[in-house]
Each structure stands twice: as C-alpha cells, then as structure tokens.
Amino acid sequence: MTNDDVLGEPTVADVDDQPLGTTVEPEEPESRDITREPDPEDFDFDEFIAGVRPGRRAVRVTMRPDLMGERDQIALRAQELGDDDEDEAEALFARFREITEQIKGSQRDFVVEARSDIRAKSIMKQVGPEPGKKASQAERDEWEDQVMEARLADAIVVPSNVTAEGLRKLREANEYAFVQLWGAFIEAQTNPTRGLGVDPNFLRGR
C-alpha cells in the first residue's frame, strides 16, 4: 500500500469492471405459481343437482290504487291554500297521511316460482284442447287467456290460495296488477337472478 492509499477505500482491484453510468439491476426473487389446477373430478354433479331450486321472484301488488286519486286531489287543493288557511292545511295533511297509510296497508307481496315446460303443457291440457284452424280469433284469445291465468295461478306460491278465477277478476279490475305478476313469472322463468349485483338502500328513510 502506498502512502496515497486511504484506509478503508477500495482498491482498483476491488471495483467491478463496469462502464461509467451503468446501473446494476438487483436480482428479482424467483417466484412460482402454486395455484392448483382445477380437477374435474372435484365437482360432485349429483350433489349440485340435489341443491338446485327453481327461480323465484317477488312483486308487491296494491289493492287500493284508486285512493291515489283522492291523494292527488288533496295535493292540488293544498297548492291553492293561502297563508291564512292553516286549519284547512292541517286537516288536508292529516287526510293525506291517512290515505297514504291505507294504500300501503292494502299492499301484498306475491312470490312467483318458475315452472317447467312439461308442467305448462299439462296445464294447457287441463284448460282444454287448443282451438283449431277454423276457430275464431276471439276463441283463440279466450283459450290463451285461460292458459295464462292457469299457469300464473299454479306458479304463485305465496299466498297459497290463488286461483285462475281470482286472477281473472284481478285482471278485470286492475290490469296493471296482473301484468306485474305475469312479469315476475316470466322473469323467474328466464332471468331469476336479475339485479343480483344491485344492493337496495336499506338506510333510506331512516
């Protein structure tokens, strides 16, 4: 070691022979994918089938939507009130709330369950033979309506005492309510999990 050497400093022999400006990349640790490949034999098809259930959807039907007319009239009257009509305003508001509770109290939840094509064909036979080519359009429409009502009555599992005759009366009194139920039935048949990723706002109104 010469006098110019400083203790602790590397000598020329200690320095890697790298060009100036060269950056030495650190070695990355070696990794391995340890995920096990899926084994087709792991799936128990019989167990899966044993757990399969038909689709179900629920819909809320309102028995007294006619009360909305009176509710609207009260709202229109309230818009006409002046500052000196406090007593009438309070009376209108009380009646408005009363009607609103009546409407909500008349609502009922119906649960509709999907049915197989085999069951549908059986119901069609129970309704009667399909009208032939010589039948009038009115006769065909009547047969199709009876099939629809019978299929829907068979598919409604909650409440348990729904009949085709009752659904026909419902349809005559409130077509929209019948359409709600039929729409829920079609959805249970074709897309029972629609809306699965949408979470309802449970905190609304609190």
> Does residue 135 fall inside a structural domain?
yes
> Does residue 3 fall inside a structural domain?
no
> Does residue 195 fall inside a structural domain?
no
Predicted TM-score (pTM) of this structure: 0.74
pLDDT tens digits along 30-81: 666 666 666 666 788 899 999 999 999 999 999 999 999 999 999 999 999 8
Q: What's the confidence (pLDDT) of residue 17? A: 53
10 Å Cβ neighbour count for 171?
19
10 Å Cβ neighbour count for 145?
14
Q: What's the confidence (pLDDT) of residue 85? A: 86
10 has pLDDT over 60: no
Q: How far, in Å, CA of 27 to CA of 87, rounded? A: 84
pLDDT tens digits along 144-174: 999 999 999 999 999 999 999 999 999 999 9
Q: What's the confidence (pLDDT) of residue 7? A: 47
Q: How far, in Å, CA of 169 to CA of 81, rounded? A: 41
Q: How far, in Å, CA of 148 to CA of 132, rounded? A: 18
> Does residue 101 fall inside a structural domain?
yes
Count of structural domains, the chain: 1
Please give the share of the chain, as a percent, with pLDDT higher than 70: 78
Q: Which residues contact 77 (CB under 8 A, 6 or more apart)?
A: 92
> Does residue 120 fall inside a structural domain?
yes
Q: What's the confidence (pLDDT) of residue 27? A: 62
> Does residue 17 fall inside a structural domain?
no
10 Å Cβ neighbour count for 34?
5
> Does residue 30 fall inside a structural domain?
no
> Does residue 78 fall inside a structural domain?
yes
Range of the domain at 136: 55-190
